[in-house]
Amino acid sequence: MDMATSTDRSLLALDWRSDFPAIPEGWAYLDSAATAQKPKAVIDAITRGYAETYATVHRGVYQRSAEMTVAFEASRQRVARFIGAAAPEEIVFVRGATEGINLVAQSWGRDNLKPGDRVLLSTLEHHSNIVPWQLAGAQIDVVPLTADHRIDLDAMAAMIRPEHKLVALAHVSNVLGSVLDAKRAADIAHSVGAKLLLDGCQAVPRMPVDVAALDCDFYVFSGHKLYGPTGIGVLWARAELLEAMPPWQGGGAMIDRVTFEKTTYAPPPARFEAGTPHVVGVIGLHAAIDYVEAIGLAAIATHEAALVRETRDALSTHNSVRLFGPDDSAGIVSFAVEGVHPHDVGTILDESKVAIRAGHHCAQPLMAALGVDATARASFGVYNGRPDIAALLGGIDRVKRIFG
C-alpha cells in the first residue's frame, strides 16, 4: 500500500485492510480495544529482528550487538517523538501499561505516599489503574461520571484537596470510549500539588498524544493495542520524577556498581529496566509507530469516529439495545441487548464471523455503576469499515431472532 496517498482515499473503504494478513476475508474483527491486529510492516520487522539482526543490547562488544543497541535506542527516540517527550531518557520500556502503572505505584508511590495521603481515581478505571494503588497501600477516592458517561471534572474539582498526592485517570475509557479533557484534569490535579498519571492504552492508537501539551506527569501505554507486539509498553515520566524514583526491580543493566555490601544504581531509564529487555518487541513497537504515523493519527481518529457514529446511529434504532458511553466515543461502542447476556451475544456474533468482546472488560466498578454485570463491546481499528458494521448489525438481528 502507498501510505503517501492513503489519506486521499475514502476513509471507510478499507484502504488498509490488506496490510493485515491475520484478518481473513469475511471476518469482522471488532476487538481492537483488547488487542489490535498487526500490519505486515510490524510482522516483517519482528521477523527480521529474530531471523537476521538478533543480538543482545547494551552488553556485547561485537558488531551485531552494537548495531542492535543502536536500533534499540533509536526506538526509544522514536517513542519520545511520538508522544512529545522532552528527551528519550524519559522513556522507560516495560511489558505493558499494567507494568508501567505498577512501577509508578511501587516506586514513586511507596516513596511519596505517606500516612494520610490519598490517590484520586475515577469510576471508569481499568483494574490495572485500581489494584496497583491498593497494593501500594494507598487510600483511594473516586470521581463519579457525568450523565453521558465521562469523568466528571466538575466533581473532581470539588473533591480534590491537598491530601491527594496523585490523580490517575484513563485518557480514553476502554469500555465507554469517553475521552478525558486531560489538560483540565492536569490543571485540577496541579492546583493542589498532585501529580497526574494518564492511562493512554486506548488513546495512542486513535488520536495524537503530546504529553507536554497535556501537562501530565506520567503517561503509560501498551504496544499491542497500537498495532505492535505484545509484551512491550511504555512509561513516560518527567525527567525530574524519574531521577528521584528508586528502582523497583533489581538485576542486570540497572546498576552502576555492585558489591555484597552496597549497590549503586544507573540513571534513568536504565534504573527501571532490569534484566535483558524485550529487544525485538521494542523494534516491533518502532515499526508500529512508523505505520500509524504514516497513515496519520488525525486520519485514524476521523476514520474511527465515522465508524462509531454510524454504528451508534444504527443501534439506537433498536428499542431492545441499550448504548453506553457518549455519542462521540473514541473507537469504541459498548451496548447490551435486552434479555440477552453479553456472552450469548458474543457467541452468536462469533457464529456470524463477527469478533467482539463481552464481559466486564476489567472494569467491574464501572459495571456496578452502570447497573449491569457485563456489556458487549465493538471496537474499531484502521482495518474496519462499513462491511464490518453491516456484519455486526446482521449478527445482532440474529441474536434478537434467536432470543425472541
How far is 13 from 386, CA to CA, in rounded Å? 8
Query: In angstroms, rounded to a whole number, what is the distance separating the alpha carbons of residues 267 and 265?
Result: 7
Beta strands in 4-145 (DSSP E): 28-29, 91-94, 118-122, 139-143
Residue 358 confidence (pLDDT): 98
Q: Mind listing the domains of the chain with CATH numbers?
A: 3-39+297-403 (3.90.1150.10), 44-293 (3.40.640.10)
Q: How far is residue 391 CA from its own chain's centroid?
A: 26
Whether residue 3 is predicted with pLDDT greater than 50 in this model: the reply is no
CB 315 within 8 A of CB 324: no
CA distance linking residue 252 with residue 394, whole number of Å = 54
Residue positions annotated with a catalytic role = 362
Determine the pLDDT at residue 268: 98
Q: Is 267 exposed, middle or buried (0-12, 13-18, 19+ CB in 10 A)?
A: exposed
Confidence band of 14 (pLDDT split at 50, 70, 90)? low
Contact 209, 185 (CB under 8 A): no
- Report the Cα 47 to chain-centroid distance in Å: 24
The predicted-structure confidence for 157-202, as pLDDT tens digits, reads as follows 999 999 999 999 999 999 999 999 999 999 999 999 999 999 999 9
CB-based contacts of 319, cutoff 8 Å, min separation 6: none
The whole-number average pLDDT for the span 339-347 is 98
Burial class of residue 215, CB neighbours in 10 A (0-12, 13-18, 19+): middle
The separation between the first and the last C-alpha atoms of the chain, rounded to the nearest angstrom, is: 45
Report the percentage of the chain scoring pLDDT > 70.
Answer: 97
Residue 7 scores a pLDDT above 60: no
Phi, psi dihedrals of residue 299, rounded to the nearest 5°: -65, -40
Closest CA to 160 of 131, 122, 127: 122
Q: Using alpha carbons only, how large is the chain's radius of gyration in Å?
A: 22
Give the containing element (helix H, strand E) for 71: helix 63-83
Percent of the chain with pLDDT over 90: 95
pLDDT at residue 10 greater than cutoff 90: no
Mean pLDDT of 40-64: 96
For residue 379, name the pLDDT band (cuts at 50, 70, 90): very high
Among candidate residues 198, 246, 194, the one with its CA nearest the CA of residue 218: 198
Does residue 256 contact residue 268 with C-beta atoms inside 8 Å?
no
269-325 pLDDT, tens digit each: 999 999 999 999 999 999 999 999 999 999 999 999 999 999 999 999 999 999 999
Residue 295 DSSP code:
H
- Rounded Cα–Cα distance for residues 340 and 254 (Å): 52
Please tell me the distance from the alpha carbon of residue 317 to that of residue 5, in angstroms, as a whole number. Answer: 36
Q: Are 65 and 213 in contact (CB under 8 A)?
A: no
Q: Whole-angstrom Cα distance, residue 360 to residue 259?
A: 48
Set of cell numbers at residue 100: 508501567
